[in-house]
Amino acid sequence: MTVCVKQLHGRLPVAEVVLGRALLSVVLSGLLVRRAGLDPWGQRRGLLAVRGLVGTAALFAVYVGVMRLPLAAATVLQYLYPAITALLAWRWLGEKPGGRLGLGVAVGWLGVLLVARPFGLGGMAPLPPLGVAVAVVGALLTAVAYVSVRELGRSEHPQVIVLWFPMVSIPVSLPLVLLDPVRPSLVELGWLVGVGLFTQLGQIGLTHGLVRLSAAQATSISYGQVGFAALWGWLLFGERVDPWTLAGGGLILSSILLSQGRPPQRAGVPSRLTPTEQKGQQDPP
């Protein structure tokens, strides 16, 4: 998804990218919900709407960060969210993480300083402050969105949670697009379709993971994206990964590991898994 956003080179407004992603996603999600015979409106509509609003705001911030920063740096900064997710899930959901959470959060923010290089560390030029700030805000909002998904998993089917995201994104982004419309070229239209398609696949996978695992566990698994981002940035955009980004990325990934604990068990929480899925989680792989 981030590669597709980066390929647009910032010519299209961010709201237009969000809208394009949402239009494709709402069609795909609607078909899946209808095929499964689910009620698309869900049960906790207020929280579903909040998840959609926060997720849309996070999407704006993430896309701006990707457009303004090297792909690896933008992705590294985004990966502050697992430690923040663990902290929020502890306070909101009672999912107590490992006792090293405070240390993990501190190490993660130290990693941000190394990646951003605000004072020109080692003679390296600092990253654009606005791009760094927006990327960090995106990580904070992403953590809030993922904790809300974890909470919604107590009552909602994952496909319904996924559907509500674009349902909220469309009315939020459409007025902004109408204020400053830019007609995409045929190539840009292809990249927009890629943004929507890959985001949809990622949302489905992450939502199912967040329903089945603790919030801290599920989000930490995806830290491998940092390596993929560095690889794609090098292969497609000629972006070299400097030592400060590597060091900061290492600290941020270490913060994820420090903040993890055994998966919590919340009493009285109904499982969204089928009996077969529950058995599959108990059996050894």
Task: Output 126 or 222, whichever has higher pLDDT.
Answer: 126
Residue 208, both tokens: 């199912």
CB atoms within 10 A of CB 155: 16
pLDDT for 103 equals: 80
**Mean of the pLDDT values across residues 98-126?**
73
Is there a domain that residue 285 lies in? no
Please, what is the average pLDDT of the chain?
Answer: 81
Q: Residue 275 — φ and ψ, nearest 5°?
A: -55, -40
Among residues 273, 197, 193, 215, the alpha carbon closest in space to that of 29 is found at 197
Reported as half-sphere exposure (CB side, CA atoms, 13 A), residue 282 has a value of 7
**pLDDT confidence tier of residue 216, bands split at 50, 70 and 90:** low
- The answer to whether residues 139 and 108 touch, using CB atoms and an 8 Å cutoff, is no
In contact, 38 and 175? CB cutoff 8 Å: no
What local confidence, expressed as pLDDT, does residue 109 receive?
A: 75
121 vs 197: which has the higher pLDDT: 197
Q: Are 220 and 91 in contact (CB under 8 A)?
A: no
- The answer to whether residue 221 is domain-embedded is yes
Please provide the DSSP assignment of 87-101 as one string.
HHHHHHH-----TTH
Among residues 236, 230, 262, 271, the alpha carbon closest in space to that of 75 is found at 230
* Token pair in block for residue 118: 């605000």
Residue with tokens 């108990």, as numbered in its chain: 282
DSSP H or E run through 96 = none
Q: Which residue has the higher pLDDT, 29 or 104?
A: 29
Q: What is the DSSP letter of 264?
A: P
252 versus 233: the higher-pLDDT residue is 233
**Residue 284 within any structural domain of the chain:** no
**Does residue 276 form part of some domain?**
no
In this predicted structure, the answer to whether residue 184 has a pLDDT above a threshold of 80 is yes
Range of the domain at 203: 2-261
DSSP 11: -
Percent of the chain residues past pLDDT 90, beyond the cut: 39
Q: Residue 25 falls within a domain, yes or no?
A: yes
In a domain, residue 280? The reply is no
Instruction: Round to whole Å and give the CA distance between 220 and 199.
Output: 18
Q: Domain for residue 160, yes or no?
A: yes
- Residue 98: the pLDDT is 63
Number of structural domains the chain divides into: 1
Backbone φ, ψ for residue 144 (5° rounding): -60, -45
pTM of the model: 0.75
Q: What is the pLDDT at residue 106?
A: 80
Residue 54 lies in a domain: yes
Distance, CA of 237 to CA of 231 (rounded, Å):
10
Q: What is the pLDDT of residue 56?
A: 95
